[in-house]
Amino acid sequence: MNVDTEKLVEEIDQRKDELIDLVKQLISYRTPAPPARNTGDAQLFIANFLKKYGFDIDMWDVYPGDPNVVGVLKGSDSNQFRSLIINGHIDVAEVNEHENWEASPFEPIVKDHTVIGRGAADMKGGLAAALFAVQILRERGVELHGDLIFQSVIGEEVGEAGTLQCCERGYTADFAIIADTSNLYIQGQGGVITGWITVKSRETHHDATRKDMIHAGGKMFAANAIEKMMKIINGLQELERHWAVTKSYPGFTPGSNTINPAVIEGGRHAAFTADECRLWITVHFYPHETYEGIINEIEGHILHVAKGDPWLRGNLPSFQWGGTSMIEDRGEVFPAFEIESGHPAIQLLSETHSKVTGKTAVIDVSPTVTDGGWLSNAGIPSAIYGPGQLKYAHSVNEQVSVPQLIEFTKVLIMFICEWMTTKKNG
């Protein structure tokens, strides 16, 4: 590698005000999800930014008003040299009008070496720093031999997986960095899937017939779907306790694999016996597990529970898993993924982090989820690595440290210069 990275790193310190301004500019775009459908202007800004620095732009609507942006900078010898995806989401957490912010959430301020505003930590700070790294590399004429793919996606906050569409569109690389909130730790993640369990009667009955269903001699073989759902919930709790005893994963506290009964909907009117009940659950699972495997475990257990009940045996519960959007169809999937600690990119990222920060890189697992699982699911070795602490994400007065933004930008520039000027078999 013939690039003088020391000069590039020094330039980041000299131009830190430009970095801060770029973070503030991204925050000023109001892109909360929900309500979503509001990222067009912000994504157009990113598309124009990347285009200015030589990227070919692919921009398409995932939903009306919410486009993805992918910029591709072709390397000088793409077939021989390593490629990289930088991935981030432009949507931010919703804002409640009654929250007590120090300033308007979308009018960012800088105070005590932090940028404060909605999305500062999650994750417009990471996006802006990655863009700034691109800007410096391009302005200084650094030639990259491999392809650099920059993805600014929508929908991560509400499970709309703009990243999944990037994968389905065929974008791939030898490694992917998800520049999301990780406090500059190198992380994998567990997974999350939501699901609906429905108990439904084939018949509907007047509430006055209840005495004939539940008392001796009533001779009416029927049931209240809400009450039968209680057995399903008990079954889920039994499975959750079983998982807590029998499953574990390094970096997670015992029992982190949970089954949360989040929402229950049932019945139609007080004058009817409830003929249907729907339970919305959220399931957290470990990095080495798949959501397909988790679905099979839950369905298998609950069907056994149901077959132990005389009425449920003939009215088995049905299941609906995941979804493409918490807004559109009330469902989401975040696949889990593990860090390959021996992968050359992880080793290089760790070494680069240590050079820049003077600290040993932490390789662990995120306690939350990102779109990174979709990249890993597509066969792309991936890691979450970005500025910002999780405790500030989604919070009132959300913030990100300016020194950490600078460190992240330096690490990213040095990593890109080394990774993308190394042959694939190097």
Q: pLDDT per residue over 25-40, tens digit each?
A: 999 999 999 999 999 9
| Cα 175–Cα 184–Cα 149 angle in degrees, nearest 5 | 30
Share of the chain above pLDDT 70, in %: 99
Closest CA to 370 of 167, 153, 196, 194: 153
User: Taking CA 92 as the corner, what is the angle to CA 147 and CA 194, rounded to the nearest 5 degrees?
Assistant: 90
Residue from 89, 94, 60, 59 nearest 155 by CA: 89
Rounded-to-integer distance, Cα 157 and Cα 325, Å: 10
Catalytic residue list: 91, 156
The residue assigned the tokens 């018949």 is 203
Do you know the residue count of the chain? Answer: 426
Tokens of 97: 């009008």
Write down the residue that tokens 């912010």 correspond to.
Answer: 101
Instruction: Name the token pair of 171.
Output: 């974008």
Q: How far is CA 174 from the centre of its chain?
A: 20
CA distance 264 to 233: 10
Q: Beta strands 363-366 and 186-189: pairing type?
A: parallel
Name the token pair of 127.
Answer: 């996006």
Through-space distance between the first and last CA atoms of the chain, rounded to whole angstroms: 12
The pLDDT confidence band at residue 426, using thresholds 50, 70 and 90, is low
pLDDT tens, 360-392?
999 999 999 999 999 999 999 999 999 999 999
User: b or e along 376-387 (b: 16 or more beta carbons within 10 Å of the residue's beta carbon)?
Assistant: bbbebbbbbbbb
* CA pair distance 423, 426, nearest whole angstrom: 5
Do the beta carbons of residue 370 and residue 178 sit within 8 Å?
yes
Q: How far apart, in whole angstroms, are the C-alpha atoms of residue 277 and residue 299?
A: 17
Would the pTM count as exceeding 0.75?
yes
The 10s digit of each residue's pLDDT in 80-99 is 999 999 999 999 999 998 99
Beta carbons of 119 and 27 less than 8 angstroms apart: yes
CA separation, residue 120 to residues 34, 95, 96, 366, 368 (Å): 17, 13, 17, 18, 17
> What whole-number distance in Å separates Cα of residue 110 and Cα of residue 107?
10
Say yes or no to pLDDT of 282 above 90. yes
Q: CB 335: neighbour CB atoms within 10 A?
A: 26
Domains along the chain? 5-190+337-419 (3.40.630.10), 191-321 (3.30.70.360)
Q: What share of the chain is helix, strand, coil (3-state, %, to 5)?
A: 35, 20, 40
Strand partners, 382: 176
pLDDT at 312 over 80: yes
Please count the other Cβ atoms lying within 10 Å of the Cβ belonging to residue 64.
8
Structure tokens at 316: 């088995």
* Apex 366 CA angle, 365 and 370, nearest 5: 125
pLDDT in tens, 39-87: 999 999 999 999 999 999 999 999 999 999 999 999 999 999 999 999 9
